[in-house]
Amino acid sequence: MGENYGQGRGREAAFVLVIFVLLVIILGISSFGY
Distance, C-alpha 3 to centroid of its chain: 22
Structure confidence at residue 30 as a pLDDT band (50, 70, 90): confident
Q: CA–CA separation, 7 vs 19, rounded Å?
A: 18
pLDDT value for 9: 75
**Confidence check: pLDDT of 1 > 80:** no
- Greater confidence, 33 or 17? 17
Distance, C-alpha 11 to centroid of its chain: 10
Q: CA–CA separation, 25 vs 10, rounded Å?
A: 23
pLDDT value for 5: 62
Structure confidence at residue 18 as a pLDDT band (50, 70, 90): very high
Distances (CA, A) of 8 to 14, 17, 23: 10, 14, 23
